[in-house]
């Protein structure tokens, strides 16, 4: 039953993380596009904001439901964690929910429904606030996760942990390099969605050549930034991990996941730096149709690398859930049966699988239709003027 519960968490956590990493990548890229429109006044940047923003909104909306499934899972299967470490682990999660998440949703709502209603500068501020609160949300989630990796700032009193130093949570060595690594992974994923979709449209010889040439350029430039952050801060974590979890990479699965993640990261980083960036000169990449299928095939790689990184981080601390303090077996909720775990596994994995499929199909539909059929920010049709009354 323990292995089944662990598998349930691995599957649902991996599917949820796919939504998270794309959200973290797309939000700043959409904000940058809208900023370029505000500065230059060029209509193409407004159209880019609306098109790629619609993809962001789809992913965010469905991602919220995956987060709810994760909350149900914690309450159902891991009651022992709540009892033992809830006073510490729950603090950053509460901040994330009450401050970051709700603020992010509020600002996103203002941005979605504020097109053609809010002043342009205020509307632009909304998308940047969405980005900042999304990063704040990710930060507090990483604070909570880093506590599980290295329970800093807490002491054991009786049968549970208590928080004694909140600042130690924020300076946790497991957090300092991991958070910018996740931000880089998000930019890596978001930029490659833009690259792959742009390559698809250019390969089809879309009439929207300028739109997708500019989108492709934006994707490549920020893929370079994202891969630099992901690779650089990924390697920077080794010194900390060696001190706090010396056996983390000695198991077969963590070692294999780590090796494949590094392989993907290094390979794509090299391709972006030495192939894609130089080919932006005079739009050579946009005109090289033979490369576009390659770029489309590369689109899933950042997501594969993200899942491998997540598996490395989580599986590598087994058998501990709170490292050195609480085992995974002791963290399970009392009274669980194998039938209950099996049923919840099937339900959670099924719901998340359907949400992931719906996310892919909806985004693919937007990409296929192109920027001419975008609902986000579309001007409302003018109401017909009433005909003058006939005066006798």
What percentage of the chain has pLDDT greater than the value 90?
75
User: Tens of pLDDT along 154-191?
Assistant: 999 999 999 999 999 999 999 999 999 999 999 999 99
Mean pLDDT of the chain: 92
Task: Tell me the per-residue pLDDT of 92-114, one tens digit each, with 9 for 90 and over.
Answer: 998 998 877 789 999 999 999 99
Q: For the whole model, what pTM was predicted? A: 0.94
HEC secondary structure over the chain: CHHHHHHHHHHHHHHHHHHHHHHHHHHHHHHHHHHHHHHHCCHHHHHHHHHHHHHHHHHHHHHHHHHHHHHHHHHHHCHHHHHHHHHHHHHHHHHHHHHHHHHHHHHHHHHHHCCCCCCHHHHHHHHHHHHHHHHHHHHHHHHHHHHHHCCCCEEEECCEEEECCHHHHHCCHHHHCHHHHHHHHHHHHHHHHHHHHHHHHHHCCCCCHHHHHHHHHHHHHHHHHHHHHHHHHHHHHHHHHHHHCCCCCCCHHHHHHHHHHHHHHHHHHHHHHHHHCHHHHHHHHHHCHHHHHHHHHHCCHHHHHHHHHHHHHHHCCCCEEECCCEEHHHHCCCCCCHHHHHHHHHHHHHHHHHHHHHHHHHHHHHHHHCCCCCCCCCCCCCCCCCCCCCCC
pLDDT at 386 over 60: no
What are the pLDDT digits (tens) for 267-287? 999 999 999 999 999 999 999
Nearest CA among 96, 61, 94, 57 for reference residue 376: 57
Question: Would you place residue 70 in the very low, low, confident or very high pLDDT band (cuts 50, 70, 90)?
Answer: confident
Mean local confidence (pLDDT), 137-150: 95
Confidence of residue 390 (pLDDT cuts 50, 70, 90): very low
Note the pLDDT tens digit of each residue in 6-58. Answer: 999 889 999 999 999 999 999 999 999 999 999 999 999 999 999 999 999 99
- Is the pLDDT at 229 greater than 60, yes or no? yes
Q: What are phi and psi of 51, to 5 degrees?
A: -65, -55
- With contact defined as beta carbons under 8 Å apart, do 191 and 29 qualify? yes
More confident residue, 392 or 37: 37
pLDDT at 387 over 60: no
Flag whether pLDDT at 388 surpasses 60. Answer: no
Q: What is the pLDDT at residue 260?
A: 95
**What span, in angstroms and rounded, lies between the C-alpha atoms of 93 and 89?**
7
- Reported as a single tens digit per residue, the pLDDT across 74-88 is 878 899 998 999 999
Q: What tens digit of pLDDT does each residue of 322-348 get?
A: 999 999 999 999 888 889 999 999 999
């Amino acid at each position: 039953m323990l292995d089944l519960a662990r598998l349930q968490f691995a599957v649902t956590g991996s599917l949820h993380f796919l939504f998270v990493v794309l959200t973290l990548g797309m939000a700043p890229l959409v904000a940058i596009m809208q900023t370029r429109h505000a500065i230059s006044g060029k209509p193409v940047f407004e159209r880019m904001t609306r098109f790629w923003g619609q993809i962001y909104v789809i992913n965010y909306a469905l991602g919220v439901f995956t987060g709810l499934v994760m909350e149900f899972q914690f309450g159902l299967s891991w009651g022992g964690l709540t009892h033992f470490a809830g006073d510490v682990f729950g603090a950053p999660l509460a901040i994330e929910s009450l401050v970051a998440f709700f603020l992010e949703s509020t600002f996103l709502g203002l941005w979605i429904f504020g097109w053609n209603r809010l002043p342009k500068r205020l509307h632009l501020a909304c998308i940047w606030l969405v980005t900042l609160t999304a990063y704040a949300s990710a930060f507090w989630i990483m604070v909570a996760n880093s506590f599980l990796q290295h329970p800093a700032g807490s002491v054991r009193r009786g049968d549970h942990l208590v928080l004694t130093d909140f600042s130690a949570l924020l300076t946790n060595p497991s957090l300092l390099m991991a958070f910018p690594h996740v931000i880089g992974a998000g930019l890596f994923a978001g930029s490659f969605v833009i690259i792959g979709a742009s390559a698809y449209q250019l390969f089809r010889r879309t009439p929207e050549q300028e739109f997708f040439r500019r989108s492709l350029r934006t994707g490549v430039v920020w893929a370079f930034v994202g891969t630099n952050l992901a690779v650089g801060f990924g390697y920077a974590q080794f010194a900390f991990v060696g001190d706090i979890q010396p056996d983390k990479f000695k198991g077969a699965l963590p070692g294999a996941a780590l090796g494949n993640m590094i392989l993907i990261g290094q390979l794509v980083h090299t391709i972006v730096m030495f192939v894609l960036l130089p080919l932006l000169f005079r739009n050579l990449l946009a005109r090289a149709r033979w490369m576009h299928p390659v770029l489309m095939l590369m689109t899933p790689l950042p997501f594969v690398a993200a899942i491998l990184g997540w598996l490395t981080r989580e599986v590598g601390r087994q058998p501990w859930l709170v490292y050195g303090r609480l085992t995974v077996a002791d963290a399970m909720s009392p009274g669980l049966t194998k039938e209950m775990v099996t049923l919840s596994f099937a339900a959670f994995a099924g719901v998340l699988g359907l949400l992931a499929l719906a996310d892919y199909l909806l985004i693919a539909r937007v990409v296929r239709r192109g920027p001419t059929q975008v609902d986000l920010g579309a001007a409302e049709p003018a109401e017909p003027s009433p005909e003058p009354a006939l005066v006798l």
